[in-house]
Structure 1
Amino acid sequence: MTDRTSGPDRAEHGELARLLPAPAERDLPPGRHLHHKDTLMRLIDQDGDRATARSHPRLLRSAVLLPAVGLALGGVLLTMLAVAGRDSAPPPPTAGTGSEAMAPRGAAVLLDRIASAAGKKGGQTVTDEQFVYVRTLQTGNEGEFGGPLKLTEPSEREIWITQESGPVVDEGLIHQDGSYLPLVVGVPDGETPVGHPAGLNRPTYTWLASLPTDPDVLLRRLTSEITRDQDARDTPAEDRDRAQDAFDTIGELLRETVMPPRTAAALYKAAAKIPGVTVDPVAVDAAGRHGIGVARDDTRAGWRTTWIFDSTTLEYLGERSHLIRDTSMGKKGDLLGTSAVLERAVVNALREKPSSETASTTT
């Protein structure tokens, strides 16, 4: 095929070509801290010993009914520290997320190749009675609330998430640190639990498959749902950043789901339209696997989040976040958290492990 690029575009393609191998010719093998801020602070007041089941600085989940156990899983502490560790620097101007304000060309080219690889995978049929199973390796945090981070060694976590489309309270199950903990969504204790249907806060395979595949339309859809969610919680204007929220939302959707190929491709192409997205040529996940990263700096919070991909297959490997300036959590460069997806599958029951035929592994 004739190369029709010239000038700066040719140079950018050449730079990316040095980072990545030639694309494979065969099919490949198989977020947001603001959403939890108000809920977490209420839960801190209600019961300091309760625990949530997510493990990342920013979470895209509905309010969590916390299991009554004496464990403090790393996710809630890391989330609380991330919220408390914000410096007082003024937020940057809100950036648009339309096609007129795209990521730098290098990141856009990389994301386009990742989208192409993701779109070649085979889809599947998933019923309401089934569960998405994801096995990850991730770090936790044992630091005191509001104080310096104290990361644990990476440990495995298994999660089973119901694919039921209707409103549910019992979303699934988590196996971590030798314990099985129910994953329950709704309002905090003391009020009547209200479940949530499939949607942005509970992304089932069927709901993901229903999303528009035009990246511009998809990005507008995500931005609209994020804004509606923030409006419902009366999130102050100064706590909103459309570009960062969109990046975090896409990252959350990628993390613990089985993704329909067309939706995955559209999400990566939508991410290419978010300003401030860059390429990290060397990134390492929680399992020590080296890959190439797609990153964005949250300048208000003071950290960078990087999605990590296998540099050969362009398979999603995991994520890592680190500080980009000194904060109450630690020094510039300190690791906030890291994860690695080891296995994904659709299974028929809670606690069921996938067979070798159904599992998608990234080892």
Structure 2
Amino acid sequence: MNPTPSGPERAEREELARLLPVPVERDLPPGRHLHHKDTLMHLIDQDTGRAAPRQRLLRPAVLLPAAAMALTGILVTTLAVTDRDSAQAPSATAPRTEAGTSRDAAVLLDRIASVAARSDELPVAGDQFVYVKSKQTQNDGGLGGPVKLSPPHVRKVWMTQKPGPVLDVGLIHENAQYWPIEVGVPDGESPVGIPAGLDRPTYAWLASLPTDPDVLLDRLRTETTRSQDISNTPPEDRNADQDVFDRVGELLRETVMPPKTAAALYKAAARIPGVTEDPEAVDAAGRRGIGVARENTRHERTAWIFDRNTLVYLGERSYLTRDTERGRKGTLIHVSAVLERAVVDALREEPTTTA
């Protein structure tokens, strides 16, 4: 510390202070201050070895209706979620929330893929059936007319896992009736079964898919183009990216999937242009989650819904994003909730053990 000046030295300093002009107080204008601050932060990032970009932290969220199963159907011998038959029926208007960005969806799907990859695997034999129980509300108003939602109801499906082309694909129980899923045979033609593939995704076929996300996405695009189902889509509504997004959504609904395939599927979905995050989404059982969504050319937005904490797949919903002849903006078109997935040995057999 410098000693306090005294005597002649102190007098000399006081005289100099008196003669010098008073300094003018100045500060940088706000704009220049921010400029220099940004420049300084940029230099710091460079000096720290190209620091990783800052990512917005997402709240946890993920897949299926069973805690440790994290995907459209990775489960133990049976896997279930409490059937909320007493849950309130979905509103005709979906919650109006602002969609997130494609980056938000990519980050979320990457986290979902990580959970799916760590799931336990349960192989399904070719002589068994995949059983899925869900709760649904669907549009009974037709394709072009005003949306008219059906009452909430439970749907059960049994899907055969036979490897070769089959005529009897499975069975549906809905509205108190059983409906066989069969291949139609035109008059005078020989019956041709459906092989395992995108139109009949058996566990073995899903396990055979490539696990590299880019290769898998190319495979899905090729399979979707060849698929017989999209032939019913009006030409003006066709969009290759939307077609692939819709087919991935179908794979999530009523299958049991190998963990490695599930992880690759979610990473591939993150590469589909136009996929964004839905911050708020409610399934048909009233469970609130977070969605991964895409909007088609008819102004219909479809979101896959995942539990915020476990990232388990819950269900799906579709709704209008603007006023059209079909309804007002936010009108629900379809909403579902997966309640139970299992592997059983026969048609009409239901699991007796809950996981």
Question: Structure 1 length normalisation: TM-score?
Answer: 0.69
Report the CA distance shift for 1:5/1:268 in structure 2 as closer, same or farther (over 3 A): farther
- 2:160 alignment counterpart: 162
Report the CA distance shift for 1:252/1:233 in structure 2 as closer, same or farther (over 3 A): closer
Residue 125, structure 1, aligned to residue 128, structure 2: no
**Contact conserved, 2:60 with 2:310, CA < 8 A, in 1?**
no
Report the CA distance shift for 1:328/1:203 in structure 2 as closer, same or farther (over 3 A): same
Rounded Cα–Cα distance in structure 2 between residues aligned with 1:317 and 1:170: 28
Q: Which amino acid aligns with 2:320?
A: L
Rounded Cα–Cα distance in structure 2 between residues aligned with 1:221 and 1:21: 28
- 1:217 alignment counterpart: 215
Q: How does 1:241-252 map to 2 (within 5 A)?
A: 241-252=239-250
Once the two structures are TM-superposed, the CA of residue 248 in structure 1 deviates from its matched residue by 0.8
Rounded Cα–Cα distance in structure 2 between residues aligned with 1:184 and 1:4: 61
Residue 115, structure 1, aligned to residue 158, structure 2: no
Report the CA distance shift for 1:292/1:240 in structure 2 as closer, same or farther (over 3 A): same
Report the CA distance shift for 1:146/1:244 in structure 2 as closer, same or farther (over 3 A): closer
Alignment: residue pair count = 274
Rounded Cα–Cα distance in structure 1 between residues aligned with 2:186 and 2:339: 32
Once the two structures are TM-superposed, the CA of residue 169 in structure 1 deviates from its matched residue by 1.0
Rounded Cα–Cα distance in structure 1 between residues aligned with 2:299 and 2:230: 26
Residue 338, structure 1, aligned to residue 329, structure 2: no
Report the CA distance shift for 1:236/1:350 in structure 2 as closer, same or farther (over 3 A): closer
Q: Which amino acid aligns with 2:194?
A: H
Q: Which amino acid aligns with 2:158?
A: W
Gaps of 5+ in 1: 31-102
Rounded Cα–Cα distance in structure 1 between residues aligned with 2:157 and 2:278: 29
**Contact conserved, 2:302 with 2:319, CA < 8 A, in 1?**
yes
- Selected match of 1:305 from 293, 299, 302: 302
For residue 212 of structure 1, give the secondary structure of its aligned residue in structure 2. Answer: coil
- 1:174 alignment counterpart: 172
Rounded Cα–Cα distance in structure 2 between residues aligned with 1:246 and 1:138: 23
Gaps of 5+ in 2: 1-47, 71-100
What per-residue deviation string (whole Å, max 9, x for no partner) do you get for residues 150-190 of structure 1?
Answer: 11221101000000011111111111111111111245577
What per-residue deviation string (whole Å, max 9, x for no partner) do you get for residues 318-355 of structure 1?
Answer: 00000112233212210000000000011000011113
**Contact conserved, 1:106 with 1:279, CA < 8 A, in 2?**
yes
For residue 227 of structure 2, give the secondary structure of its aligned residue in structure 1. Answer: helix
User: Comparing both chains, which one has the higher relative contact order based on Cα–Cα distances under 8 Å and sequence gaps of 6 or more?
Assistant: 2
**Contact conserved, 1:28 with 1:120, CA < 8 A, in 2?**
no
What per-residue deviation string (whole Å, max 9, x for no partner) do you get for residues 235-288 of structure 1?
Answer: 897553221111111111111101111111100000111111111111100000
Report the CA distance shift for 1:269/1:5 in structure 2 as closer, same or farther (over 3 A): farther
**Contact conserved, 1:186 with 1:196, CA < 8 A, in 2?**
no
For residue 337 of structure 1, give the secondary structure of its aligned residue in structure 2. Answer: strand
What per-residue deviation string (whole Å, max 9, x for no partner) do you get for residues 38-58 of structure 1?
Answer: xxxxxxxxxxxxxxxxxxxxx
Rounded Cα–Cα distance in structure 2 between residues aligned with 1:133 and 1:231: 22
Q: Which amino acid aligns with 2:60?
A: L
- 1:262 alignment counterpart: 260
Once the two structures are TM-superposed, the CA of residue 120 in structure 1 deviates from its matched residue by 1.1
What per-residue deviation string (whole Å, max 9, x for no partner) do you get for residues 131-153 of structure 1?
Answer: 00000000133436642121122
Report the CA distance shift for 1:144/1:117 in structure 2 as closer, same or farther (over 3 A): closer
Q: What root-mean-square deviation, in Å, do the aligned CA atoms of Structure 1 and Structure 2 show?
A: 2.8
Residue 138, structure 1, aligned to residue 136, structure 2: yes
For residue 262 of structure 1, give the secondary structure of its aligned residue in structure 2. Answer: helix
Rounded Cα–Cα distance in structure 2 between residues aligned with 1:330 and 1:21: 30
**Contact conserved, 2:134 with 2:154, CA < 8 A, in 1?**
yes
For residue 110 of structure 1, give the secondary structure of its aligned residue in structure 2. Answer: helix
Once the two structures are TM-superposed, the CA of residue 302 in structure 1 deviates from its matched residue by 1.5
For residue 108 of structure 2, give the secondary structure of its aligned residue in structure 1. Answer: helix
Question: Structure 2 length normalisation: TM-score?
Answer: 0.71
- 2:202 alignment counterpart: 204
For residue 217 of structure 1, give the secondary structure of its aligned residue in structure 2. Answer: helix
The sequence identity of aligned pairs, in percent, is: 62
Report the CA distance shift for 1:142/1:356 in structure 2 as closer, same or farther (over 3 A): same
Rounded Cα–Cα distance in structure 1 between residues aligned with 2:188 and 2:323: 39
Rounded Cα–Cα distance in structure 1 between residues aligned with 2:326 and 2:212: 39
Once the two structures are TM-superposed, the CA of residue 4 in structure 1 deviates from its matched residue by 9.2
- 1:323 alignment counterpart: 320
- Selected match of 2:56 from 6, 10, 13: 13
**Contact conserved, 1:186 with 1:195, CA < 8 A, in 2?**
no
